[in-house]
């Protein structure tokens, strides 16, 4: 759906990012794709990370229904730019769903053994609530004019806290357990994870306090430097994991994950370019920055990890106390299809990103078409795996 909407909104990507169709596609990507996938996976993986049973099996169902309805209302309201009851109802339902999910996760991990991975996960969920609350405040401000600064000042805070506070911290927290497990790493240098945790959170707290309380952005360079320093520490941690790995040969899922981690450099290079040309208000670079984060880092990471975690989850369901399944997790998907999907998506992504930077529809159209093909291949492959449960 995101790919199709993007294909029919190419002309919008040549203009300012703050317009109805771009806002609709962005929030569909954030809630309908990334957050929903992460919430679903976290309900399966966080009990493993925390070594505790999920507190409630009913809260995820209720949260899922609320976020589905809320996302549909919010995205439709943005698309037609109707800032009335529909958009506030959608935002309220999404915030309620997120609060329910976060409550369930906190209650699940409250008695877990102290671990940096758990700290990352809990903190990321707290940033998620802050991000959603700022989003609702922005809607109220756009309708009633409650805040003193211009709308784009708070939009920058909303986006930055969501990207670095929710997505980035959660990715680091979960991957700090999964990557060593998949690579069979013999040594983890966790001091780098601890340093990354404090650097990123310090930068985010400064950003939030300066922007929301003091209404300025004078410390932006320091805040970006802290977050980038945290990411650098995380990458050093991953390098140590790989160097001590027993299983250095990567399958398609891990290759895609590696590409995603490498792709994290793109949005931050674009962010630095934005800061360098700040006075010139480089709209195309700002748009490319957000696009590179969600369509690059987050989407490629989710696609790659789908073929690492979903086969294992399905395999666990196929196994019964009295019967062990003949299939292994690696037998539940086609590795060649994952590789084809990676090449299709990566080619399309780079074309589309270049199209945003150079304001060229001739680059955006083939890029969007390639990503749509990759999305269809991905969806079909996932349904193929899930169908194994019915047999």
DSSP three-state, residue 185: strand
Instruction: Find all residues with CB under 8 Å of 368, minimum gap 6, and list them.
Output: 3, 6, 7, 10, 348, 352
Residue identified by tokens 């966790």 is: 190
Which bin fits 22, alpha (ψ -120 to 50), beta or left (φ > 0)?
Answer: alpha
Q: Which residues of the chain have pLDDT under 50?
A: none
CA angle 299, 292, 358 (to 5 degrees): 135
18-48: b (≥16 Cβ within 10 Å) or e: eeebbbbbbbbbbbbbbbbbbbebbbebbbe
Instruction: Find all residues with CB under 8 Å of 297, minimum gap 6, and list them.
Output: 260, 261, 263, 264, 266, 267
Residue identified by tokens 């955006």 is: 364
The 8-class DSSP code of residue 389 comes to: G
Contact 377, 334 (CB under 8 A): no
Residues found in the chain = 391
Q: Rounded CA gap, 124 and 176, in Å?
A: 14
Provide φ and ψ at 53, rounded to 5°. Answer: -70, 145
Q: Rounded CA gap, 372 and 34, in Å?
A: 17
Can you say how many angstroms the Cα of residue 323 is from the centroid of all Cα atoms in its chain? 37
Contact 95, 34 (CB under 8 A): no
Which bin fits 327, alpha (ψ -120 to 50), beta or left (φ > 0)?
Answer: beta
Q: Rounded CA gap, 40 and 69, in Å?
A: 16
- Per-residue HEC secondary structure of 257-307 comes to HHHHHHHCHHHHHHHHHHHHCHHHCCHHHHHHHHHHHHHHHHHHHHHHHHH
Q: What does the pLDDT look like over 147-199, one tens digit per residue?
A: 888 878 888 899 999 999 999 999 999 888 888 887 777 777 889 999 999 99
Nearest CA to 263 out of 284, 238, 234, 294 is that of 294
Going 124 to 126 to 129 to 131, the CA torsion angle's sign is: negative
- Give the other-Cβ count within 10 Å of 325's Cβ: 16
Nearest CA to 154 out of 135, 167, 168 is that of 135
Query: Exposed/middle/buried for 61, CB within 10 Å: 0-12, 13-18, 19+?
Result: exposed
Q: Return the pLDDT at 322.
A: 56
Q: Return the pLDDT at 293.
A: 93
Q: Distance between the two ends of the chain, CA-based, in angstroms?
A: 28
């Amino acid at each position: 759906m995101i790919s199709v909407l993007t294909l029919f909104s190419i002309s919008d990507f040549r203009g300012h990012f703050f317009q109805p169709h771009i806002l609709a596609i962005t929030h569909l990507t954030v809630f309908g794709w990334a957050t929903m996938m992460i919430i679903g996976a976290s309900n399966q993986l966080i009990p493993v990370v925390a070594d505790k049973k999920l507190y409630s099996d009913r809260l995820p169902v209720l949260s899922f229904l609320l976020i589905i309805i809320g996302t549909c209302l919010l995205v439709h309201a943005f698309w037609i730019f109707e800032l009335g009851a529909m958009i506030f109802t959608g935002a309220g339902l999404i915030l309620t769903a997120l609060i329910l999910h976060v409550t369930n996760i906190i209650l699940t991990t409250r008695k877990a053994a102290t671990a940096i991975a758990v700290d990352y996960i809990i903190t990321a969920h707290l940033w998620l609530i802050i991000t959603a609350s700022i989003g609702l405040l922005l809607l109220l401000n756009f309708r009633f004019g409650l805040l003193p600064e211009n709308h784009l000042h708070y939009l920058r805070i909303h986006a930055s806290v969501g990207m670095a506070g929710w997505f980035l911290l959660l990715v680091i927290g979960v991957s700090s357990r999964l990557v060593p497990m998949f690579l069979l790493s013999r040594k983890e240098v966790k001091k780098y994870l601890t340093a990354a945790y404090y650097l990123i959170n310090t930068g985010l707290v400064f950003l939030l306090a300066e922007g929301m309380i003091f209404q300025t952005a004078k410390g932006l360079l320091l805040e970006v430097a802290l977050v980038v320093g945290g990411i650098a520490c995380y990458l050093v941690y991953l390098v140590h994991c790989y160097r001590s790995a027993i299983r250095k040969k990567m399958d398609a899922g891990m290759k895609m994950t590696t590409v995603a981690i490498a792709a994290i450099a793109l949005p931050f290079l674009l962010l630095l370019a934005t800061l360098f040309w700040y006075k010139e208000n480089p709209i195309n670079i700002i748009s490319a920055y957000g696009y590179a984060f969600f369509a690059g880092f987050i989407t490629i990471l989710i696609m790659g990890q789908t073929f690492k975690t979903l086969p294992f989850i399905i395999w666990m369901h196929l196994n019964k106390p009295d019967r062990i399944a003949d299939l292994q997790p690696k037998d539940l998907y086609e590795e060649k299809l994952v590789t084809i999907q990676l090449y299709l998506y990566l080619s399309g992504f780079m074309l589309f990103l270049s199209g945003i930077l150079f304001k060229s529809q001739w680059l955006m159209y083939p890029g969007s078409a390639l990503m749509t093909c990759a999305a269809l291949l991905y969806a079909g492959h996932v349904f193929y795996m899930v169908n194994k449960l019915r047999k």
